[in-house]
Amino acid sequence: MRKEEVKDAGSAREVESDTFKCPGCGNFLKYDPESGKMKCEYCGAEKPVPPVREPMELFYTSLSEQGFSGWGEVKCIQCPVCGAKTMLDKYQTVAVCPFCGAPNLVESDEIPGLKPNAVLPFRITEKTAHESLKKWMGKKFLAPSDLKKNAKTSKMSGVYIPSWTFDSNVFTRYDARLGKTYTVTVGTGKNRRTETRVRWYNVSGTVNSYFDDILVGASTKMSQKQINKIGGFDTKNSIQYEEEYLSGYSAERYAHGLDESWEVAKGIMTDNIRNQIRNLYPDADRVDYINVYPVFNETKFKYVLAPIWTSSYRYKGKDYGFVVNGRNGRTVGKAPLSPIKTFFFALFCAGVAALLIWMFYLLFLS
Ligand SMILES: [Zn+2]
Ligand SMILES: [Zn+2]
């Protein structure tokens, strides 16, 4: 039995090269969301995954991005069409790009980057994802009625999407110029009138703020907006990353690095601190400026992988992409429009608008 040492950020674990081999038939084992174990698709044999551990948060310094050893046992594949960079464990191959379906993927010589230290394992199986997709099609109001029945779905890919989370203890000095409006009566006789004036004053002080798990997306394939549309991810429940969870799946390589993402997180925290300071002065109704000088202490980060099922379906010769949240089954995607339904819906909207205009006319103008 050959042993290979796999180094990761913070902890080292010995992974045997046959960890992913089926004890029954020698095929490769994949992580099975249903049983939470490694499972053989051919003979059904199962093997447990390593015990679940809390993910280790790592202290962030400006050297973090260079200082840690990367994923040793994975390869990076690049799509010539959409540019997606996907990580696979070294035993795996994929025929098509999980994001756009293009073939002819090339192995990239890019360094795989930091190894994830946290993962949200798949909870939804491909079968359940398929059912979610069908349900979603059924709810598409303006889609053709036979969409659910006649859409042909290609094989789905289970992909992990990268993101960073940051914790920080922030001590902030600030100074600000705030204002309170008041009214005065000026002039006499016919010229007597009230004027609004602002009494400006300066304040300064310090605030302490603690931030936990500020999330910064690192994917180019899923924007934060799209992630929100599928209900977001419960990153609080992430567990320590183990290679077993990647078996049978792929992971998008992060497109936004650690240092770049830390700058984004600092921006989110600073905006929040500014609001916190603003709320200390409920009397002020004007803000000239708030200068903040935050010092970020004990900053920790996690590199988290979150699961999605993605593919496309074909309807009347056209392909439509979709994504299913691998944790909760929420689905988003593109759908064809039924010309007849759309026509009648537009007619209905025009009718409602006409009715409103008419009522407005009757109530206010006649
Ligand atoms: Zn087997
Ligand atoms: Zn692609």
Looking at the CA of 85, name the nearest ligand: 2
Considering every ligand atom, which ligand is closest to the CA of 159?
A: 2
| pLDDT for the residue 305 | 95
Average the pLDDT over 99-107 and give the result: 84
Q: Residue 301: which residues within 8 A CB-CB, separation 6 or more?
A: 57, 58, 60, 64, 164, 165, 166, 167, 258, 262
Name, in order, each residue with C-beta under 8 angstroms of 362's C-beta and a sequence gap of 6 or more.
none
Relative to the alpha carbon of 321, which ligand is closest?
2
**Of 16-20, 258-262, 306-310, minimum mean pLDDT range:** 16-20
In angstroms, what is the span from residue 98 Cα to ligand 2's centroid? 7
Confidence of residue 330 (pLDDT cuts 50, 70, 90): very high
H or E element in which residue 228 lies:
helix 224-229
Q: What is the CA(100)–ligand 2 centre distance, in A?
A: 4
- The stretch 98-109 carries a mean pLDDT of 83
User: Regarding beta strands 286-315 and 152-153, do their DSSP bridges make them parallel or antiparallel, or are they unpaired?
Assistant: antiparallel
Question: Minimum-distance ligand to the CA of 84?
Answer: 2
Identify the band that residue 99 occupies on the pLDDT scale cut at 50, 70 and 90: confident
**Ligand 2 ion local residues (Cβ < 5 A):** 79, 81-82, 84, 97, 99-100, 102
CA–centroid distance, 43 to ligand 1, in Å, is 4
| Top-confidence range, 67-71, 268-272, 320-324 | 268-272
Q: Please give the pLDDT value at position 67.
A: 61
Q: How far is the CA of 290 from the centre of ligand 1 (A)?
A: 64
Q: How many CB atoms lie within 10 A of CB 138?
A: 12
The identity of residue 106, as a single letter, is V
Å from CA of 18 to ligand 1 middle? 13
**Mean pLDDT for the stretch of residues 37-64:** 88
Which of 63-67, 138-142, 298-302 has maximum average pLDDT? 298-302
| pLDDT at residue 10 is higher than 80 | no
Average pLDDT, the chain: 87
* Whole-number pLDDT of residue 109: 73
Cα 121 to middle of ligand 2, angstroms: 23
Q: What's the pLDDT tens digit per position in 193-215?
A: 999 999 999 999 999 999 999 98
Give the ligand whose atoms come closest to the C-alpha of residue 250.
2
Give the single-character DSSP code of 363: I
Residue 90 has pLDDT above 90, yes or no: no
Instruction: Looking at the CA of 29, name the nearest ligand.
Output: 1
What separation in Å is there between the alpha carbon of 35 and the centre of ligand 1? 16
- What's the rounded Cα separation, in Å, for the pair 304 and 217? 10
One-character DSSP codes across 125-175: -HHHHHHHHHHHHHH-TTS-TTHHHH-EEPPPEEEEEEEEEEEEEEEEEEE
What DSSP character marks residue 190? G
The number of the ligand nearest the C-alpha atom of 38 reads 1
Instruction: Determine the pLDDT at residue 17.
Output: 57
Distance 37 CA to ligand 1 centre (A): 13
Determine contact, residues 116/310, Cβ cutoff 8 Å.
Answer: no
| Contact predicate 239/53, CB 8 Å | yes
Q: Tell me the CA–centroid distance for residue 293 and ligand 2, in Å.
A: 43
For residues 275 and 291, what is the distance between their CA atoms, to the nearest angstrom? 12
How many Å apart are CA 112 and CA 302, to the nearest integer? 17
Ligand nearest to the CA of 104: 2
Work out the pLDDT band at 142, boundaries 50, 70, 90. Answer: confident
Q: Given this model, what pLDDT does residue 16 score?
A: 54
**CA-CA distances (angstroms) from residue 167 to 211, 234, 301, 356?**
5, 16, 6, 51
Residue matched to tokens 């447990």: 48
Q: Residue 77: is its pLDDT beyond 60?
A: yes
Is the predicted pLDDT of residue 69 greater than 60, yes or no? no
Region 241-270: mean pLDDT is 92
Domain ranges (residues) in the chain: 53-180+201-335, 337-366
Structure confidence at residue 337 (pLDDT): 85
Beta bridge partners of 85: 78
- What span, in angstroms and rounded, lies between the C-alpha atoms of 117 and 262? 16
- Sign of torsion, CA 91 94 99 105? positive
Question: Amino acid letter at 270?
Answer: T
In this structure, the number of other CB atoms found within 10 A of the CB of residue 59 comes to: 11
